[in-house]
A and B are shown apart, each in its own frame.
Chain A
Amino acid sequence: MNTDSVSRALETPDERQPYAELGMKDDEYQRVRDILGRRPTGSELAIYSVMWSEHCSYKSSKVHLRQFGTKAPESEALLVGMGENAGVVDIGDGWAATFKIESHNHPSYVEPHQGAATGVGGIVRDIMSMGARPVAVMDALRFGGADQPDTRRVLPGVVEGISHYGNCLGLPNIGGEVVFDPCYIGNPLVNALCVGLLRKDQIKLATAPGPGNKVVLFGARTGADGIGGASVLASATFEDESQAKRPAVQVGDPFMEKLLIECCLELYQADVVVGIQDLGAAGVSCATTELAAKGTGGMEVNLNLVPLRDPTLRPEEILMSESQERMMAVVTPDDIPAFMAVCDKWDVPATVIGEVTDTGRLVMTWDGEVIVDIPPGTAADEGPVYERPFHEPAGQAALNADGPERLPRPEDLRETLLTLLGSPNLGSKEWVTSQYDRYVRGNTVLAQPADAGMLRISEVMPGAQETTRGIALATDGNGRYAKLDPYTGAQLALAEAYRNVAVTGATPLAVTNCLNFGSPEDPEVMWQFSEAVRGLADACRTLGVPVTGGNVSFYNQTGSTAINPTPVIGVLGVIDDVAQRVRSGFTAAGLRVLLLGETREEFGGSEWAHVVHGHLGGLPPQADLEAERGLAAVLTEAAARGLLEGSHDLSDGGLAVALAESCLAQGVGCTVTLPGEDAFVELFSESAARALVCVRPEAFDAFADLCVRHEVPCSGLGLTGGSALTVEGVLDVPVEELREVHTSALPRVFG
């Protein structure tokens, strides 16, 4: 087979090229020809097609995502913002945290186990490439209805994939979400988050400066995994038989990834890395173009030197391969022996495949012929940008007009509580989370089912200074709220994650997001997307927490039916003294139970409407961001002063579910009296900006003063104790009965 070299491209200018099959539009292909002044070679076409795919270039979302920068709040904490592999924030005492959430939705539908596993692997390498030690993962999952047959195929596979890969890596899984809704039946969402820690002065960037420096490819060998995955799998829908796409899913090796983690950390300690980039979507194409574009501007690579698992691979395939567990580093010639010694110690194959130049060109050779000769920035940064048309969906007004007011109210609130608590969305997630190691590395302070995961910062890097600080993380998102009003829905997702961090006593600091939507070519989906981004950017400004990075996942639809728009928001917080963390729920008997925040009649998109009536209509709860801010201020200050014995945020299922979960946390009951007249609204409304706390009686006055100071409504509900959840005059359920209903929800479906 003839190699399609640059000289051959010059000789055969009119050869027809399969750009359409690679997902490129006519005008995009023409632009490549204009940039190069000739037709691209097959290898160049491979590079441009993956780098300009929606997945890598953000061509449909870019114009909207800019708001995260233009509207960003002033933040002294932000060290590295959007555009790098992951954002980095200053968490004090010389420490920094880097975190990011990313989707692996389509691969997880095709091949649930490997799709979910490599989703974990990919996000972990993003965190490693910032110079950090990955310290924990979380997963935000959305599946079709729990009783739908395909959910029984997809969910166990996804959970097993996350479990196997994450557990083998030795990273504790400290939280996340599992949500069921029929809208995800043909398109589950698998969003994986990783957080890492590093010293502030050790941040690494994806850059290749210094002509003469060596380009090293290290980690697993390159095989035929996921060739075309980035542009085919991540951009196409599932109209076709997924069987035909099965080979496009990558297969992961967590053992190699664990070796890579330890190897990278030792390389950072030895200070022998000038720039580093992980190989994710678009593999060598992405790593070489991005490193070169951000460095001195040029690079020469001999593709024959790439170690192969499959020796028959063509250069185009090597460039597009998405084989997992690979990294690329830029290293000075003097440091190469030390670099190789560390790789050798960890049995990680490493090969010099090229070097940095100052030519401004990315040049690749194969069998001595030049097969790539491009300005790297044109592939990495100058992809197409689309202003996609958008308009409000035709049925939006009717959807909003069909409010929950028309739904019949329940007579028996005890029964309603048990129905909700035993439903798949509110039932215990232990069936899933007991398959994840939450203890490894010994720094887990809080993990699921706590509102947020929390980690102590300890023994991250050899010899690094100890600190009393800790970090907290939560992810949230509610597709039903976002369907009713994407602007408010995105704000509510942020508000809930922000609140979940605050109830543990940590101060929310920064945001990552994974925006899961249907096709951007559908103007109604594009409207949902633009509204959600606008809402999120506005809310970040009000709450004072900047977006540090994230991921957009489009084309989440089967046929013409898109999923509910699902922005999943992750919030990172910091607690000055991790020993002051607040545990979830009622931690002892004899404590005063207090409800913080204001309850309104808000049932649009609620769990009650969903579970009891299968209804979705009206408007979601108000997003009162000033109230969220006040509430978080009360919670974090109270925690720091040692005033809180336990806390829990109010969200899906309202006060009733929060009370039940608080009783279940430690098996401590309570007796409470509702402050308002309408018990149904008091118990099941999903008004935001609320939390349940318990305080020692002697701490009450100080706590109440704090609420007054921050203008947060505080109602005394009653006392903890006993072995039942008692709402005076309304319902009375033994904690054991709550537990039975709660814990059997998922085993009933999944065995």
Chain B
Amino acid sequence: MSAARVGVVTFPGTLDDQDAARAVRLAGAEAVPLWHADHDLKGVDAVFLPGGFSYGDYLRCGAISRFSPLMTELIPAARSGLPVLGTCNGFQILCEAHLLPGALTRNEGLHYICRDQRIRVESTRTAWTADFADGQEIVLPIKHGEGRYVADAETLAALESEGRVVFRYAGGNPNGSLNDIAGITNEAGNVVGLMPHPEHAVEDLTGAPSVDGRHFFTSILKRLVNA
């Protein structure tokens, strides 16, 4: 059986694509580079939208990226069930593309924050979180200036009642996110967006003092193998 193929998207200004590809490879999958200007998903089994400052984020984080040729292919594919993970800028792009509800705004403290953050796993029913335990506390780095999750009351209520809040900040909310939300999923559970960075928590030697990020990738691999 050939290895599962996970696409890693690079926009101009994407920064964590090398880390994302490494995390995919360490989990045993093939990392397939996807270029923003191509109308081509290269037949991948899943897609990782990594962090960065796509197009400089000069207008609004992720606002321009959603119109890129690659995204015009990715949006319908995600709606048809292709597993997609967006971290940080990737999460912002997923919100701008309306694959996920709500928006990410400037941190409450107005500063960019880089720190190792405790996170609680609230849902293991998504394509990317099956290998966690419900309620498990993990440590992942956060590093963002605009990570404050906001949505209208109706959307928040729906996310909560439908179990679509996937991650919540624990031990202190770093950015003022509503309901301490760190990550959410779509109704089908194939699209997950979060501000923390699992790709920076997969090795003992480097990154955060945790390897909790590995479970994102083992989760998706099991799902692809069993599909």
Picked from B22, B53, B58, B208, the residue with its CB within 8 Å of the CB of A439 is: B208
* CB-based contact A442/B22 at 8 Å: yes
* CB-based contact B56/A255 at 8 Å: yes
Given A255-B12, A439-B143, A442-B200, is A167 in contact with B56 using a C-beta cutoff of 8 Å? no
* CB-based contact B207/A439 at 8 Å: yes
User: Which residues of A, 422-452, contact B by the 8 Å Cβ criterion?
Assistant: 433-445
B residues within 8 A CB of A436?
Answer: 114
| Nearest A-chain residue to B54, judged by Cβ | A255
Q: How far is the CB of B210 from chain A (nearest CB, A)?
A: 12
Q: How far is the CB of B223 from chain A (nearest CB, A)?
A: 24
Q: Tell me the bound Cα distance from A323 to B112 in angstroms.
A: 26
* CB-based contact B12/A346 at 8 Å: yes
* CB-based contact A442/B18 at 8 Å: yes
**Cβ of A163 < 8 Å from any Cβ of B?**
yes
B residues within 8 A CB of A167?
Answer: 53, 112, 143, 145
Instruction: Bits for A237-249, please: 1 = Cβ < 8 Å to B, else 0.
Output: 0000000000000
**Cβ of A254 < 8 Å from any Cβ of B?**
yes
* CB-based contact A255/B55 at 8 Å: yes
**Cβ of A719 < 8 Å from any Cβ of B?**
no
**Cβ of B199 < 8 Å from any Cβ of A?**
yes
**Cβ of B42 < 8 Å from any Cβ of A?**
no
* CB-based contact B12/A444 at 8 Å: no
**Cβ of A164 < 8 Å from any Cβ of B?**
yes
Q: How far is the CB of A160 from chain B (nearest CB, A)?
A: 8
A residues within 8 A CB of B141?
Answer: 439
B residues within 8 A CB of A444?
Answer: 206-207
**Cβ of A459 < 8 Å from any Cβ of B?**
yes
User: Which residues of B, 47-85, contact A by the 8 Å Cβ criterion?
Assistant: 52-53, 55-58
User: Which residues of A, 167-218, contact B by the 8 Å Cβ criterion?
Assistant: 167-170
User: Which residues of B, 195-227, contact A by the 8 Å Cβ criterion?
Assistant: 197, 199-200, 203, 205-208
Task: For chain B, give the interface size range.
Answer: 20 to 34
Picked from B52, B113, B199, the residue with its CB within 8 Å of the CB of A434 is: B113
* CB-based contact A440/B12 at 8 Å: no
A residues within 8 A CB of B205?
Answer: 445, 456, 578-579, 581
A residues within 8 A CB of B39?
Answer: none
Q: How far is the CB of B166 from chain A (nearest CB, A)?
A: 21
User: Which residues of B, 166-218, contact A by the 8 Å Cβ criterion?
Assistant: 197, 199-200, 203, 205-208
* CB-based contact B56/A254 at 8 Å: yes
* CB-based contact B18/A459 at 8 Å: yes
B residues within 8 A CB of A456?
Answer: 205-206
* CB-based contact A439/B15 at 8 Å: no
B residues within 8 A CB of A256?
Answer: 56
Q: Tell me the bound Cα distance from A167 to B88 in angstroms.
A: 13
* CB-based contact A440/B115 at 8 Å: no
Q: Tell me the bound Cα distance from A444 to B201 in angstroms.
A: 12
* CB-based contact A440/B15 at 8 Å: yes
Given A164-B112, A436-B114, A440-B16, is A255 in contact with B53 using a C-beta cutoff of 8 Å? yes
**Cβ of B19 < 8 Å from any Cβ of A?**
yes
Q: Tell me the bound Cα distance from A735 to B41 in angstroms.
A: 53
**Cβ of A626 < 8 Å from any Cβ of B?**
no
Q: How far is the CB of A236 from chain B (nearest CB, A)?
A: 33
* CB-based contact A435/B111 at 8 Å: yes
A residues within 8 A CB of B111?
Answer: 160, 163, 434-435
Given A258-B13, A347-B12, A459-B22, is A438 in contact with B206 using a C-beta cutoff of 8 Å? no
Q: Tell me the bound Cα distance from A134 to B19 in angstroms.
A: 16
**Cβ of A253 < 8 Å from any Cβ of B?**
yes
* CB-based contact B18/A439 at 8 Å: no
Q: Tell me the bound Cα distance from A182 to B46 in angstroms.
A: 56
B residues within 8 A CB of A253?
Answer: 56
* CB-based contact A255/B58 at 8 Å: yes
| Nearest A-chain residue to B17, judged by Cβ | A170
A residues within 8 A CB of B57?
Answer: 255
| Nearest A-chain residue to B200, judged by Cβ | A439
* CB-based contact B12/A441 at 8 Å: no
**Cβ of A413 < 8 Å from any Cβ of B?**
no
Q: How far is the CB of B56 from chain A (nearest CB, A)?
A: 3
**Cβ of A22 < 8 Å from any Cβ of B?**
no
Q: Tell me the bound Cα distance from A441 to B18 in angstroms.
A: 6
**Cβ of A259 < 8 Å from any Cβ of B?**
yes
Q: How far is the CB of B107 from chain A (nearest CB, A)?
A: 11
* CB-based contact A434/B115 at 8 Å: yes
Picked from A168, A438, A441, A579, the residue with its CB within 8 Å of the CB of B13 is: A168
Given A255-B12, A258-B13, A445-B205, is A439 in contact with B56 using a C-beta cutoff of 8 Å? no
Q: How far is the CB of A271 from chain B (nearest CB, A)?
A: 21
B residues within 8 A CB of A438?
Answer: 114
* CB-based contact B15/A434 at 8 Å: no
* CB-based contact B114/A435 at 8 Å: yes
Q: How far is the CB of B89 from chain A (nearest CB, A)?
A: 11
Find the residue from B22, B199, B206, B208 having the highest chain A CB count within 10 A.
B206
Q: How far is the CB of A575 from chain B (nearest CB, A)?
A: 12
Find the residue from B12, B115, B203, B208 having the highest chain A CB count within 10 A.
B12
* CB-based contact B112/A163 at 8 Å: yes
Q: Tell me the bound Cα distance from A250 to B56 in angstroms.
A: 18
Q: Tell me the bound Cα distance from A170 to B199 in angstroms.
A: 15
Q: Tell me the bound Cα distance from A169 to B208 in angstroms.
A: 20
Q: Tell me the bound Cα distance from A456 to B207 in angstroms.
A: 11
User: Which residues of A, 551-603, contact B by the 8 Å Cβ criterion?
Assistant: 578-579, 581
User: Which residues of B, 111-165, contact A by the 8 Å Cβ criterion?
Assistant: 111-115, 141, 143, 145
Picked from A433, A434, A443, the residue with its CB within 8 Å of the CB of B206 is: A443
Q: Tell me the bound Cα distance from A347 to B55 in angstroms.
A: 11
Q: Tell me the bound Cα distance from A258 to B114 in angstroms.
A: 20
A residues within 8 A CB of B207?
Answer: 439, 442, 444
B residues within 8 A CB of A442?
Answer: 16, 18-19, 22, 199-200, 203, 206-207
| Nearest A-chain residue to B197, judged by Cβ | A439
| Nearest B-chain residue to A435, judged by Cβ | B112
Q: Offer 29 A-B interface pairs, CB within 8 angstroms, sorted by A.
A: A163-B111, A164-B145, A167-B112, A168-B13, A169-B15, A170-B52, A253-B56, A255-B56, A255-B58, A258-B13, A258-B53, A259-B12, A347-B12, A434-B113, A435-B113, A437-B112, A439-B19, A439-B143, A440-B16, A440-B143, A442-B199, A442-B200, A442-B206, A442-B207, A445-B205, A456-B205, A456-B206, A459-B18, A578-B205
5 closest residue pairs by CB, A with B: A255-B56, A170-B15, A442-B19, A439-B200, A168-B53
Question: Which residues of A are at the interface with B, using a C-beta cutoff of 8 A?
Answer: 160, 163-164, 167-170, 253-256, 258-259, 346-347, 433-445, 456, 459, 578-579, 581
Q: A164-B145, A168-B53, A168-B56 are in contact. List 16 more A-B contacts (CB 8 A).
A: A163-B111, A167-B53, A169-B15, A170-B52, A255-B58, A258-B12, A347-B12, A433-B114, A434-B111, A434-B113, A434-B115, A439-B19, A440-B19, A442-B18, A442-B199, A442-B203
Question: Which residues of B are at the interface with A, using a C-beta cutoff of 8 A?
Answer: 12-13, 15-16, 18-19, 22, 52-53, 55-58, 111-115, 141, 143, 145, 197, 199-200, 203, 205-208
